Structure 1
Amino acid sequence: MTPRPDPALCAALRGDLLDAGYTAAAVRELWGPLADDAIGHGLARPALAALGARTDALAVLARLLFLGVASPVAEVDAALPRTRAAGMVALGLAGLEETAVRPTATIRPQEAGTETGSVQWWIAADPDEAVVGGPLPVGHVLGVGGASLTLAGLQLARPVARVLDVGTGCGIQALHARLAAPEVVATDVSMRALEYTRLNALLNDLDGIETRHGSLFEPVAGERFDRVVSNPPFVITPRAAGVPAYEYRDGGLAGDDLVAAFVHGVGDVLAPGGTAQLLGNWEYRADADGLDRVRGWVADASAPLDAWIVEREVLDPLAYAELWVRDGGTAPGTAGYADLVGAWLDDFAARGVTAIGFGYVLLRRPAHGLPTLARYERLTRPVPEGLGIHLAAALAAHDTLAELDDERLAASVLVVAADVTEARHHLPGAEAPSVIELRQGGGFGRVVEVDPALAALVGACDGDLAVGPLVDAIADLLEVDAVALRADVLPRVRELLFTGFLAFA
């Protein structure tokens, strides 16, 4: 069933959800942490057991809208007194079966973090595989998953005028973008997805979100945006008979061509100084490293781009195939599982694919001049949520450093970031440490091994003396040449500034 967003009914539903206290925190408390974790694994039974026979509004809505369980009309009418069961049907979110309301969509509360606190939203989407109980339909509109939350946390928070959300799905990225911009354009190849986006904007009382139908940048040709965000349908899917082409994850192109097409064309819709952020997959092939292939896409882009690519994970073809076959609702041991996995493996073999990388892509069209940032790195250790602030600080540090030669950097006063600690490892009985590490509590959680000179410099960066005099004092203490030490240390100071270990005072 396709949603039918109606402003008056969405306002009524919003009021009902508010009155019922249908929030993420309330639902977690309702059924407890174990049941909440089980839901994340596709298991609803513990939550249903915790709800028992309760018929209060919060329990009815959790059962109906979160877990997708049909509920008596009388209970739904009591829990949603403004909207009632008839309103849910009119919105295209439920159907009637004799005396029961059968939900055709889930509406789940979602907390969204901001720089000043958090906001509470409700996100409608198609029922997931746990509710469906089998393979998903190809037109499935995905709700808020792990990838959605990752990209939302990566979004730069600096206010801008216009944002483009490519492949909006249920609209979660558009809603996040609206926190930073008065005008958001959300595009998708799925009309059902666009209807969900409109409904979610109305349900959360957010104006300024315009939806357009089409692929990639076709709906906005000739326009410019200050920011582009995308959780695109990047999943590499075989173009073979019997393999479902899910709209929410398959862009219809072979291999990793969709991500390549995005990188190639995004510069045309970016205003000078504008940034683009997306998640993506890229293939490792027998003759090409995955990150090198991404580097080639950036080099061939339609406009010069700064690039910061972070690879978070690499899977072998079998693991990748099994991941996405299961994601579509086909479980190991069930009919068709082996054939689907085999189709993926055949597709990878045809292109000589040896592994598949996943990561974050941050691109920027320089405000003037040529690109100055080309960073391609692999960071696989777990990181905290909400990296947007860290990414923005790194870009600002990069831009400052690009204007500083070594003489001006040496004249700068620096401070150690508050989340940085130092660890020293000694061999038994040794007076001097064999390893000195700087550890970052925030950001990407980097661990950097440093020598005594750099460790001493970082320890002395307290906002008082400039870098140059500190290096000279350390050189005197270590009895080494000051000029040589500056030449050795300053490039590493630049790296520590970009990565957030140090900051300009």
Structure 2
Amino acid sequence: MSRPLPEPDPTTVHLLADDLRDAGYTSDALRAAWGPLADDAIVRGLRAPAARRLERNRDALAALGRLFVLGMPVPRASVDSALPRAGATGIERLGLAHGVADEIVPDVLIRPQSFADRHGTGEWWVASDLDEAALQGALPEDHVLGVGGASLTLASLQVATPADRALDLGAGCGIQALRARRDVAEVVATDISERALRLTRLNALLNGLDGITTRLGNLFEPVAGERFDRIVSNPPFVITPRVEGVPAYEYRDGGLVGDDLVRTVIEQVGAYLAPGGVAQLLGNWESRGDIDGVDRVREWVAASPEPLDAWIIEREVLDPLAYAELWIRDGGTLPGSPDYARLVDAWLEDFDARGVTEIGFGYVLLRRPASGSPSLQRYERATQPLGDSGLGDHLAAALVAHDRLTALSDDELARSVLRVAPDVTEARHHLPGDDAPQVIELRQGGGLARALSVDPGLAALVGACDGDLPAGVLIDAIAQLLEVDAVALRADLLPRVRELVFCGFLTFA
């Protein structure tokens, strides 16, 4: 078990924040202090290269980097010098560290985390429990995870539009609540772990954010009867065998069999969405026998008492062995250790009992229609690397485009003026010596970074969409050039134009 974490004292937290700010405690400054090689090593759980570089410095940044990023003891005098307001006594009182002889030993990490959204760029300080590199061993079951790749992805996926109320379901250290508060006036963060909620409150104070409240309880129990404009969740979706001897980590294990935790959230979330409200979560789902995992998610959406728009994106698929090894290593049990083979076998036996052939991972976006019936049912696989621009902006724009397209007949779409998005490029592939391309490909630099093969007619239309003439006029002109029937070409191209607008290749001028 982790060391007890007291309720954060606001005054002391604010003093600590002032000290971190004055020390220049930022991700860029730390990377500059220990260099790119050590930075890569930290991602791989290796602390020594960064520790050696920081040892050469005696400034506040070096002391704080060793203490709160690497999770290493630091002399009390160095901590007092680095934190002149809060001091070693202050962080001990907050439960962030404890004293041993003349050293301060960290109990919590506080890592800078940069971000960028429609409001601009910034940086949070995010407190979480010591990781396996700092612990030099397996994680305790009450571990509160810090900011990882999945949580960063979900934060970037949050639709970037203003709203009144948001729910962060299974808040952990509170990173999703911090991100939601950028666009939402009031955020309620829930978790089954009081330790996690204390870290969420600490992080809100540390970053000077009001409007974030916390509630203890399982799933939707703490918000029974309430409605939200946004619901975001990085739930404990990891599929874990329910047998004795397999660690059940609170941050990743929902306590249910198989993928029932994700199923439960999807089936119940609609009741907590206000009309027009959007829910976004990450999840795992099992393919069982001949039933594909994405098709099972489709069944869960259909089982919701509140009819929902759905956009499901499967990003990755693993076989049972690869999945088991991934999450066993995540808990700090490494190949060659005494428990590794036993845990792998427990996972494989659990999957075999349900006939699991694959496990998918992906993104779930659900929306309660503001009025009428659901009109968006999109289930897709997108395994390519994502684009450089904000995913949340892209998803929000796609929803707006979908609603506008749904209201337009084909004739109305033909009368619409369209423009090629600025991140779209075209690639043409020729056989040597041939003038005509064998493949024409449209590529998207931002968003989901899609690449679509198109025929000459659609390529010509996209190339002509410069915000000047209506799509129908352009199609008629292309039909003349290609010497094909204009009516038939419209019937062929307009459905694909709808897809290009939804995906962000084309926009309404």
CA distance, structure 2, for counterparts of residue 483 and residue 438 of structure 1: 25
Aligned to 2:206: 203
Quote the Cα distance in structure 1 between the aligned partners of 2:83 and 2:433.
71
Listed one character per residue, the Cα deviations across residues 2-51 of structure 1 (whole Å, up to 9, x for unaligned) are 33211000000001001100011111111011101100000001101111
Q: CA deviation at 1:112?
A: 2.0
Cross-structure match for 1:191: 194
Q: CA deviation at 1:302?
A: 2.1
Is residue 447 from structure 1 mapped to residue 451 from structure 2 by the alignment? yes
- Pairing partner for 1:396 from 396, 400, 416: 400
Instruction: Verify the 8 A CA contact 2:55 2:62 in the aligned structure 1.
Output: no
Deviation of 1:261 (Å): 0.3
Mapped contact 2:464–2:474 kept (Cα < 8 A): yes
The aligned runs of 1:46-125 (5 Å cut-off) are: 46-125=49-128
Give the whole-Å Cα distance in 2 for the aligned partners of 1:146 and 1:428.
42
**Displaced runs of 4 or more, over 6 A:** none
- Output the CA distance in 1 between the equivalents of 2:332 and 2:467: 56
State whether residues 104 and 127 of structure 1, in contact with CA within 8 Å, keep that contact through their aligned partners in structure 2.
Answer: yes
> Is contact 2:444–2:505 with CA below 8 Å preserved after alignment?
yes
Q: SS of the residue aligned with 1:149? A: helix
**Are positions 1:427 and 2:435 aligned together?**
no
Q: 5 Å matches for 1:104-503?
A: 104-384=107-387, 386-503=390-507
Q: Greater shift after overlay, 151-160 or 380-389?
A: 380-389
Which residue of 1 is the match for residue 46 of structure 2?
A: 43
> Which AA in structure 1 matches 2:299?
G
Structure 2 length normalisation: TM-score?
0.98
Is the CA contact (8 Å cut-off) linking 1:2 and 1:195 kept in structure 2?
A: no
Q: Which amino acid aligns with 2:497?
A: V
Q: What is the one-letter code of the residue matched to 1:322?
A: E
Cα deviation, 1:52-96, whole Å, max 9, x if unaligned, reads: 242210000000111111111111111111111111110011111
For residue 210 of structure 2, what is the amino acid of its counterpart?
A: D
State how far apart, in whole Å, the 2-side matches of 1:151 and 1:171 are: 12
2:477, 2:96 → 1: CA distance? 70
Q: How far apart are 1:106 and its partner, in Å?
A: 0.4
Q: Distance in 1 between matches of 2:298 and 2:97?
A: 47
Alpha-carbon distance in 2 for matches of 1:12, 1:429: 70
Percentage of identical aligned residues:
67
Asked if 1:504 is matched to 2:508, the reply is yes
Taking the aligned partners of 2:20 and 2:330, their CA distance within structure 1 comes to 30
- CA distance in 2 between counterparts of 1:168 and 1:208 reads 15
Q: 8 Å contact 1:284–1:290 — kept in the other structure?
A: yes
Specify the alignment match of 2:5 in structure 1.
3
SS of alignment partner, residue 297 of structure 1? helix
Question: 1:215, 1:250 → 2: CA distance?
Answer: 12
What do residues 366-411 of structure 1 show as CA deviations (whole Å, max 9, x unaligned)? Answer: 0000000000000101113531111111111101000001010000
Q: Which amino acid aligns with 2:333?
A: T
Contact 2:241 2:347 in 1 (8 A): yes
Deviation at 1:425, TM superposition (A): 1.2
Amino acid at match of 1:230: S
Instruction: Give me the whole-angstrom Cα distance separating, in 2, the residues matched to 1:63 and 1:434.
Output: 56
Q: Distance in 2 between matches of 1:124 and 1:420?
A: 39
* TM-score after normalising by structure 1: 0.99
Q: What RMSD, in angstroms, separates the aligned Cα atoms of the two structures?
A: 0.8
Could you list the runs of 5+ residues in structure 2 that have no partner in the other structure? none
Which amino acid in the other structure matches residue 4 of structure 2? T
C-alpha distance in structure 2 between counterparts of 1:280 and 1:455, whole Å: 36
Show structure 1 runs of 5+ residues with no match. none
Q: Which letter maps to 2:397?
A: A
Matched residue type, 1:236: I
The letter for the 2-side match of 1:99 is: D
SS of residue paired to 1:182: strand
In structure 2, distance between residues paired with 1:458 and 1:30? 48
Q: Give the conservation status (yes or no) of the 8 Å contact 1:3–1:199.
A: no
